[in-house]
Amino acid sequence: MISIDLIQKTAETLMDKAAIEIPEDYLTGLQAAAESEDGDLSSFVLQAMLENYKAAKEDRRAMCGDTGCPRWYVKMGNEARVEGGPVALETALRQATANATNGVPLRPNRVHPLWRTDHNNNVGIGAPEIEYGYEPGGDWIDLITVHKGGLFGTDYRMLFPSDGIEGIKRFYLDSLLAFGKRGLACQPAIIGIGLGGSKDTCMVLGKRAACLRVVGDRNPDPKIAALEDEFKELGNSIGMGAMGFVGKNMVIDCNIEVGYCHTGGMQMSVHAFCLSSRRAVARLWPGGRVEYRTDPDWFTPYQRRETIDWPTATTKAAK
Amino acid sequence: MSKPREIRLSTTPAPEALAGLRLGDIVYLDGLLYTAREGVYKRALEEQANIPMELPGQSATNFHCSPAAAIREDGTFDMGAVTATASFRFAKWLPEWMAKTGAKLIIGKGGMSSKDYKSYFVPNGAIYLSTVGYGTGALLGRGIEKVEAVHWQDELGLAQAMWVIRCKRMGPFIVASDLEGNCLFERENAKIAANLERVYEGTRPAVLKRYGETDDRSDEVIG
């Protein structure tokens, strides 16, 4: 049994870490970008961002004033049991979100879409989102928080098999360009692409590809991995850098996730996880042990299983 | 690669100080500024509520910003990071706001179009400063000397409220328009557009079209 108090306390710590500490993989990616950048203005911007990450950690203040929309991904081993059950778990995550919004502080971003009512704590109808995944074996629970920016950099389009890779490339470039101008997407970003599924799951896949995979990670399908490399290169060849200034760094990495779709379609979504790629992860065990990390390790062989059965493999975190 | 110029500027700047600025200059601000975005604009302009500050006497700087901030139980403020939100969405209210408040510096994300600059920034002797990154919230937070007040938080919520901030060397910001109405982002977009034909080679437009789109990639999209 995993203690509910430990879940809430850990969730509050994760909220704080996500808002303040840039994940190591993104930082390494951005440092490499800063070294290669030769546009005057975009180079200045990347240096300022590197200073900003340092200032945030030193002062324990949020990296960015727009602290995004906090959301939760919960992954449970098949043997995990939570004190009070799933309802207690959701209550604890909502309470932690409210407490951290006031404590860090975060910007209370969440409002009613029509009445603009703001509870000043990032909690409301459907907020924060809580999504679930499961893994065979294991009595642990992974708590993952992502505070993704909410306005620019994401688009969806129903493509068809006849659009082919050329059509995918076109929509990818259109998305980068439309949201990259004036830096609305807060690039260079981790670009996530969802292909297939249905409209809603295509969006989910792309968002998870951007937020739940780390820089340098590659899809296990070698042909998709090659596309990821090609798309990263393509995005960086536009000639646009940070803030839409002339530059060569638009994409820190490109991650593609796929799901089986209707035989006549080829859904596509594009998502940008920004210069403040806020994510933090902890694994909790029944005995009270907690381990923090920044790699969500979401896309295991089980999550990507193609048939009824799945390949047996341990998760990265368990290794 | 040349380094941009760095300049200290008052939040109630003299016209000569603004005239000396060039697109791409880096600016650090001293003085009083306030946040105002759609909530404040709607309340002050559409609902005709009295603006709770003396403008532009107290401040001529409007920051399109919602801070990461909380009001403590004792009524004091805890403001961590501050960064801008995208300004183009406020074009509907800005001409009237600037005429009414005499704002000389509009700070935000992404700038406006040169059409906006020429039609109501230039006549008001105002320029646009862009935040950097975007997301230098912690650096900008260090430039807060004091949170002087927050207005309309009950009516608008903390994110949309009018925060009054005393700043000391707050920055960096980038000069994104000048007193002639030139636009830094459009200048950069024009340079990038020259390369696009080559980048798009080997791609194909979608077989199913959508209404209301543009295929002109020099289009600024925001207007």
Interface touch B70/A41, C-beta < 8 Å: no
> pLDDT tens, A88-129?
999 999 999 999 999 999 999 999 999 999 999 999 999 999
Interchain contact A246–B (C-beta under 8 A) = yes
Residue A56: inside a domain: no
Peptide bond into A222 cis (omega under 30): no
Interchain contact A44–B (C-beta under 8 A) = yes
> Residues of chain A with pLDDT > 70: what percent?
98
Is it the case that residue A65 has pLDDT exceeding 50? yes
Residue A318: inside a domain: no
Report the pLDDT averaged over residues A174-197: 96
CATH code of the region B6-185 = 3.20.130.10
Specify whether the CB–CB gap between A249 and A236 falls below 8 A: yes
Give me the interface pTM, i.e. the ipTM.
Answer: 0.90
A-chain residue closest to B85, CA distance: A66
Among residues A218, A223, A306, A279, which one has the least CA distance to residue A67? A279
Residue A139: inside a domain: no
Percentages of chain A per state (helix, strand, coil), in multiples of 5? 40, 20, 40
**Average pLDDT, whole number, for chain B?**
95
Q: Show Cβ contacts of residue A236 under 8 Å, excluding neighbours closer than 6 positions.
A: A248, A249, A250, A251
Tell me how many domains chain A contains: 1
Confidence label for A319 from pLDDT (cuts 50, 70 and 90): very low
- What confidence score (pLDDT) does residue A246 get? 97
The structural domains of chain B, with segments of one domain joined by +, span: 6-185
CB atoms within 10 A of CB A70: 29
For A:74-133, CB contacts with B below 8 A are: 101-109, 111, 116-118, 120
Confidence label for A317 from pLDDT (cuts 50, 70 and 90): low
Please classify residue B101 by burial: count the beta carbons closer than 10 Å to its beta carbon, then call 0-12 exposed, 13-18 middle and 19+ buried. buried
Whole-model pTM? 0.93
Residue A289: inside a domain: no
Residue A216: inside a domain: yes
Interface touch A158/B199, C-beta < 8 Å: no
- What confidence score (pLDDT) does residue A310 get? 87
Q: Name chain A contacts of B152, Cβ cutoff 8 Å.
A: none
Peptide bond into A172 cis (omega under 30): no
- What confidence score (pLDDT) does residue A182 get? 95
> pLDDT tens, A253-292?
999 999 999 999 999 999 999 999 999 999 999 999 999 9
Residue A204 or residue B217, greater confidence? A204
How many Å apart are CA A96 and CA A83, to the nearest integer?
16
Q: Which domain holds residue A257?
A: 150-273
Residue A154: inside a domain: yes
Among residues A5, A8, A219, A203, which one has the least CA distance to residue A99? A8
Is it the case that residue B127 has pLDDT exceeding 50? yes
Residue A254: inside a domain: yes
Interface touch A66/B137, C-beta < 8 Å: yes
CB atoms within 10 A of CB B73: 6
CB-nearest to B137 from A64, A152, A163 is: A64
